[in-house]
Amino acid sequence: MRWLLALALVAASAQAAAQQPPPQPQNPPLPALQEGAGQPPAVRIRPGKQDKVERSVIGGRTVLRVTPPGGRPYYLVEGPDGWQRRESLDDGTIVPMWTIYKFD
């Protein structure tokens, strides 16, 4: 009985080793890169003609508050990489505000 099981295992492994994997399809060559293709395309965020724009300087950076008619205001903040759109001026830093000691 063990001989039969061993013979079946040897036959199955020999059959699996004899099979060749299917050939992989050749990929077409990539197109040549154009000059300036490594830079992302320039995207401009412009306020609409009916939007109310308020300009201010906060922390040395120019900030534009844009309020579209019938919409929520958003902010355009000037940064080192250009203008960034933000929904609020909150940078996410939370300062602890609990009382440690209260003087009488």
43-89 pLDDT, tens digit per residue, is 676 777 888 888 999 888 889 998 888 888 988 888 877 888 888 88
63 is a domain residue: yes
In a domain, residue 72? The reply is yes
pLDDT of residue 41: 64
Average confidence score pLDDT of the chain = 79
Does residue 74 fall inside a structural domain?
Answer: yes
**Which of residues 31 and 74 earns the better pLDDT score?**
74
Residue 36: is its pLDDT beyond 60? no
96 or 36: which carries more pLDDT confidence? 96
Residue 69 lies in a domain: yes
Domain region containing 62? 52-86
In eight-state DSSP terms, residue 89 is S
What is the DSSP pairing of strand 82-86 with strand 52-58? unpaired
* Structure tokens belonging to residue 66: 């844009």
- Residues 88 and 95: their CA atoms lie apart, in Å, by 17
68 within a domain of the structure (yes/no)? yes
Tally of domains within the chain: 1
Is 97 a member of any domain?
no
Number of Cβ within 10 Å of residue 8's Cβ equals 10
Give domain status of residue 66, yes or no: yes
Residue 14 lies in a domain: no
Q: Which helix (H) or strand (E) holds 51?
A: none
For residue 34, pLDDT beyond 70 = no
pLDDT tier for residue 40 given thresholds of 50, 70 and 90: low
